[in-house]
Amino acid sequence: MWIISITCEDTTGGDRPGEARRDLLSGMTIERWVPSQTYTRQETAILKSLRRTRKLFAFLRDHRHEIFDDEMQSALEAMYRNTGAGKDPVCPARMAMAALMQGYLGVSDAEAVQLTMVDLRWQMVLDCLGNTEEAFSQGAFQEFRQRLIRHDMDRALLEKTIALARTSEAFDYRKLPKDLRIAIDSSPLEGAGRVEDTVNLLAHAGRKIVDCVADLLSWPRERVCTEAGIPLLAASSVKKALDYTWSDPADKAEAVSVLVSQLASLEAWIRDRLPHELARPPLQEHVETLRQVMAQDLEPDPTRGGDRSDKTTAVCIRQGVAPDRRVSIEDKDMRHGRKSKSKRFNGYKRHLARDLRSGLILACAMTPANRPEEEAADPIEQDLVHLFEGELPVTNLYIDRAYINAPLVDHVLEHGGEIICRPWQARNGELFSKADFKINVRDRTITCPANKTQPFDFGTTIEFEPEDCDRCRLRDQCTDASLGHGRTVSIADNEQLQKRLRRLAHTPAGRARLRERVPVEHALARAGRRQGRRARYRGVRNNLYDWRRASLLTNLEEIQRHLTLAAAAALAATAKPRRCTGLTVLRNAA
Ligand code: SF4
């Protein structure tokens, strides 16, 4: 293993062992990794053992110098140049490689650090076989991850896998068309934070404040609870301390009132005792969390004279769910979401865009579970534009109906691309559906089954003439509006596209084209399995990092699979044909 010590002062130095650069501002020394490209006997033996299981370790060993080439290492080093403070970092390329292996095995930070000392596969890939110490500390590893995220280096690493696919000749890029066939899809990701009911959410938010105040004042928690007038939070369980019959609505309302009044007492005490700390993090954030939970989950109790302007007393738990309701104290971004009408989940939706020709994942996105899919298309589009240096060479976009209103769809159409997607289903119970009306997009007219025609504008709801509908013999089959009101039909903004999609779904060839998007579901399943059903981290951005890492590992496995197939094909082509006894006999006979 070569490690070049790059002390950032003389930026002309650099690429041979012992050369050094020094940054005039920071004077920081950054190790550059120059991994060995020859194999020791021990490495050969380890690689032999990786033929069946955990094969990606072998791929990482073989291609580490290509993944972490000079360009990538310079980008990683650049993450440190602006800081100008702190200790000299551990070689960033090796930490990034460890982060990839962590995602591959799905282990914790602590275990990943330990594996750098006890696992020969990790040591082989990190070029430190025989090390008797951990390669870096857990704190340095966590800090490195946050630095990667801040500098969007997770996206750079995902893009690197696409560049690697080209240079490794896993795919014959000369034969692949330059335009892209991209498919986008999403799957649910359960959040890492605990989802709690209103009483526990309020108590949890209150406890965070109490703990923070106890830290600031160096007091025990119990003393803060006593002095701030919130003895409920000194108990191990707030429901146990309240001791009400939770199935009784009156008892429950009383319990909520008691808790809310004690929380108000806590806030008033902090305002009085710690006014300066209240205006800055971390106390400010904890108090804002409590206010957010109270605002979303409580409403004035009209039965007890509750006043909307005073949420401290006479409040009850809100009927229905507040829009964008926070469901966890520890993870502020988690939200309620739906897999289907009946299946709910709490957390995030993870999205990816796969190139259907090469099979590589090109871009990823992460959204809270309650956000519509179309919101994820924006960051995916930005990543694609970044990847293709300002271009969006998408000629075929395969999407789920939920993405159809995304600006990406308009942009692909504007550039002459095609959208392949199932159309919205027109349903109207037993009555005529929209599909029974003739829509002329060019003339902007709609004709009903009784041959009455109305003009329309896109994105509006039109109403047929009430006099026509009142007299119509088909009225019972068409509308249940009262007399004097005509049948209404909504015209979508993208009605023209919907009409084309309806035509597509009605032909066998069109349905075959719709099925072409199935590989994105396979990629989603593979990357999803790598990331797991439950989030490893808290927050949208941290989980996006994890999702990009799972996706890039999926890409590396795809490249490895193609290289293995190509090697097997090359071997078969060059192998001597085996002597065929039967043919020899025939030749002799002739
Ligand atoms: S009820 Fe009105 S819209 Fe419906 S078929 Fe009759 S005239 Fe047409």
Q: For atom 4 of ligand 1, which residue has the closest CA?
A: 478
Task: Give per-residue pLDDT as tens, 186-236.
Answer: 999 999 999 999 999 999 999 999 999 999 999 999 999 999 999 999 999
From 464, 465, 483, 488, give the residue whose CB has the most ligand 1 atoms within 8 Å, as the site to mutate.
Answer: 464
Q: How far apart are CA 437 and CA 489, in angstroms?
A: 9
Residue 397, both tokens: 């976009």
Q: Look at residues 101, 95, 113 and name the one whose alpha carbon lies nearest to residue 59.
A: 101
Residue spans per domain, the chain: 2-151, 198-317, 434-515
Q: How far is residue 93 CA from its own chain's centroid?
A: 24
How far is C-alpha 404 from the geometric centre of its chain's CA atoms?
Answer: 19
Write phi, then psi, for 242 (nearest 5 degrees).
-70, -40
**Any residues with CB less than 8 A from the CB of 381 and at least 6 apart, and which?**
392, 406, 407, 408, 411
Separation of CA 442 and ligand 1 centre (Å)? 22
Pocket of ligand 1 (CB under 6 A): 448-450, 452, 464, 468-469, 472, 474-475, 478-479, 486-487
Cα of 502 vs centre of ligand 1, distance in Å, is 23
**pLDDT per residue as tens digits for the range 145-178:** 999 999 999 999 999 999 999 888 777 766 666 7
Strand partners, 367: 349
Q: What is the CA(454)–ligand 1 centre distance, in A?
A: 11
- CB-count burial class (<10 Å; 0-12, 13-18, 19+) for 71: exposed
73 conformational bin, left if phi > 0, alpha if psi -120 to 50, beta if neither: alpha
Nearest to 33 by CA among 89, 113, 86, 85: 89
Q: Whose CA is nearest to atom 5 of ligand 1?
A: 450
Q: Do 347 and 327 contact (CB within 8 A), yes or no? A: no
Cα–Cα distance measured from residue 30 to residue 90, given in angstroms and rounded to the nearest whole number: 7
Pocket test for ligand 1, best of 468, 470, 471, 485 (most atoms within 8 A of CB): 468
Computed from CA positions of residues 438, 441, 443, 445, in that sequence, does the dihedral angle turn out positive or negative? positive
Cα–Cα distance measured from residue 387 to residue 158, given in angstroms and rounded to the nearest whole number:
10
The single-letter DSSP state of residue 280 is S
Which of 462, 474, 488, 489 to mutate to test ligand 1, by most ligand atoms within 8 A of the CB atom?
Answer: 474
Ligand 1 centre distance from Cα of residue 424 (Å):
22
List Cβ neighbours of 96 (8 Å cut-off, separation of 6 or more).
68, 76, 144, 148, 153, 157
Per-residue model confidence as pLDDT tens for the chain (590 residues): 444 444 444 343 444 333 334 444 445 678 789 999 999 999 999 999 999 899 999 999 999 999 999 999 999 999 986 555 566 678 999 999 999 999 999 999 999 999 999 999 999 999 999 999 999 999 999 999 999 999 999 999 999 999 999 888 777 766 666 778 999 999 999 999 999 999 999 999 999 999 999 999 999 999 999 999 999 999 999 999 998 888 888 888 889 999 999 999 999 999 999 999 999 999 999 999 999 999 999 988 877 665 545 545 578 889 888 999 999 999 999 999 998 888 899 999 999 999 998 899 999 999 999 999 999 999 999 999 999 998 888 999 999 999 999 999 999 999 999 999 999 888 889 999 998 999 999 999 999 999 999 999 999 999 999 999 999 999 999 999 999 999 999 999 999 999 999 999 999 999 999 999 999 999 999 999 999 999 999 999 999 999 999 999 999 999 999 999 988 888 888 876 655 554 444 454 44
Question: What atom in ligand 1 is closest to the CA of residue 475?
Answer: 1
Question: What phi and psi, each to the nearest 5 degrees, are found at residue 490?
Answer: -90, 135
Kindly give, in sequence order, each residue whose CB lies less than 8 Å from that of residue 289, ignoring residues fewer than 6 positions away: 205, 208, 326, 329, 332
Ligand 1 centroid–CA 493 distance in Å is 23
Nearest CA to ligand 1 atom 7: 469
